[in-house]
A and B are shown apart, each in its own frame.
Chain A
Amino acid sequence: MQTFSRAMLAGPVFLLALMLANMPVSAQVIMELSGEYERHNDRGERPGGDPPGDYLGIPLNDMGRMRANTSNPTDWGLPEFQCRPHPAPYQWRANGNVRFIKEIDPVSRQLTAYHVQWLRALDRPIYMDGRPHPPEWAPHTWSGFSTGRWDGNTLVVTTTHLKEGYLRRNNVPFSDRARMTEYIILNDDRYLLIVMVLEDPIYLEEPFIETSNYLRTTDSQLAYYPCTIIQESTSTRVPHFLPGQNPYLTDWLAEDGIPEEAAQGGAATLYPEYKERVQELLAAPSTPSTPSTPPN
């Protein structure tokens, strides 16, 4: 009996020693995305979205700025837009949780796709079976067409065929020429990190990168989100502003102490050296901004 016990000990002792030898420098993790996650950004959208004219941190070019300045976020109340799902590039920063579901081919038992679902969104498949993207002339959708591949511990997702949409609820635009690449990483099997890079030759000076954080949960569900169109306005106008005539773009600046130039966004405003420019702008005598007057 004693002999048997010592023989049995040899294996565990060997494994323990092996573990000890490996511990200090590294550890191994296995990544499995399926499940629910709770959104946990330090900065999500403000209730109602950012104010008109707030393009802080977005590398908009002149065309993108003009497109944003002439839009009117009240267009969300148009019957055509009331049940519009969030576009994919915005979705990670919208309110609500997210769910990843695996779709497995019942015959081959290979992973066909991940399906990603949010509160205000359609089902978004990320195809993992190597299928090609559709031809350029194929229809564009709010979520676009996504394919994914594993690069080590990172799910890299490429999305094309997006409809024109918004990066912020104040209608910061991206065009239907935009291409989105997402990097989805699950750290410690708990902290879901989404890195979204949007390239848009029409409205951006350089790719826009944004990260979002979620926490894995075991007790959350996605709420049912039926959408019904109602008459929100008696106006027959399509909300918009003509170039140079949006009076609401600067109302919020004074409260937050933001220079108007910085609020316009642009690639230069994203880099640390721009802090010096901000100090110059804040030190300069302020010019009164145009008071808000409702359009006729």
Chain B
Amino acid sequence: MHCRTLPTYRKPLFAAILVWVAVAAGSEVHAQSAPDAAPFDMTGYWVSVVSEDWRSRMITPRKGDYEHVPINNEGRRVADTWDPARDEANGNQCKSYGVAAIMRVPGRFHIAWEGDNTLRIDTDAGMQVRRLYFGDVPSPGSEPTLQGHSVARWQFAGRGQEAGNLKVETTHFRSGYLRKNGVPYSEDASVTEYYNGIAGPDGNEWLIVTTVIVDPLYLNGPFITSTHFKRIPDESGWNPTPCSAR
């Protein structure tokens, strides 16, 4: 078979056009901003419904209670040194409100878009702010923070591309507590979350957040929780309260 070749000077031009056409085609598929591409609407007000782990969420568990956390010996040793007075004295009242634990803290949550690439989550309990960045946003070079640097992307399902979830991976965070009684997680941990939206049988909308924490320093295996939130119509009940170490 005879193939015609392009003149040498046209080859880079041809390649560039090819890439441009491809990028343009791809952009057409996902030209939408992150808000437009969302397979479900996470924005609005949500309230925790504490029908799970009530004992470790609605009260502060006693020191040494790490039931159902796959904690290792080092984690146990650190948890047994928990001293809320010391945390207060050192300004560490928010250690149980960090990225690995905050979605498990009972409260109300407000989720809203900040521009086209950032989903912002405000909590009334502990008055924390999380920002979930879509796209290729480099991690800040500054000191790690309580909520870290969260990179988000929509994941679409195979059956009809309109459905899917949100996957969030967070790095660059400070160490904190998985539970209020000082069960620790370290800066070496990885925190991955999946956000799913469902329509309940009684008309309620639910947001389910699955959190997977892998911590080679304090855990023997992945610590997985799923936490559910019911959509509420407005900010009624919003009750900003500062972090508490006790």
Give the interface of A toward B (CB within 8 A).
2-4, 6-7, 10, 13-22, 24-31, 40-44, 46, 56-59, 150-154, 158, 179, 181, 183, 185, 187-188, 191, 193, 195, 197, 199, 207-213, 215, 256-258, 262, 269-275, 278, 282
Contact = CB atoms under 8 A, between A and B. Distances in A.
Nearest to B108: A272
The 8 closest A-B pairs by CB, nearest first: A152-B163, A21-B26, A153-B157, A17-B22, A30-B158, A57-B54, A56-B54, A211-B226
B59 A183 contact: no
A29 B155 contact: yes
A43 B53 CA distance: 7
A10 B30 contact: no
Interface stretch (B80-88, B89-97, B139-147, B217-225): B217-225
B18 to A, nearest CB: 6
Contacts of A207: 200-202, 204
30 contacts: A14-B19, A18-B25, A21-B25, A27-B156, A28-B156, A28-B157, A29-B157, A41-B224, A42-B68, A43-B52, A43-B53, A56-B55, A59-B51, A152-B159, A152-B163, A153-B156, A154-B196, A181-B200, A183-B208, A188-B194, A199-B202, A211-B208, A211-B228, A257-B59, A262-B54, A269-B54, A270-B49, A272-B47, A272-B48, A273-B239
A197 B228 CA distance: 11
Nearest to B194: A187
B113 interface: no
A22 B156 CA distance: 12
Interface of B: 3, 5-6, 11, 15, 18-19, 21-23, 25-27, 29-30, 32, 34, 37, 39, 47-56, 58-59, 61-62, 67-69, 106-108, 125, 134-136, 153-165, 167, 194, 196, 198, 200-202, 204, 206, 208, 210, 212, 222-228, 237, 239
Contacts of B159: 31, 150, 152-153
Given A21-B22, A58-B51, 15 more contacts: A7-B3, A13-B22, A18-B23, A21-B30, A27-B153, A29-B164, A57-B53, A152-B157, A152-B162, A199-B201, A199-B202, A207-B204, A211-B227, A215-B224, A258-B59
Contacts of B196: 154, 183, 185, 187, 193
Contacts of A209: 49, 51, 200, 206, 228
Give chain B's interface secondary structure class: mixed
A28 B161 contact: yes
Contact of B37 (A14, A25, A213): A25
A156 B153 CA distance: 24
A22 B226 contact: no
Contacts of A191: 194, 210, 212, 224
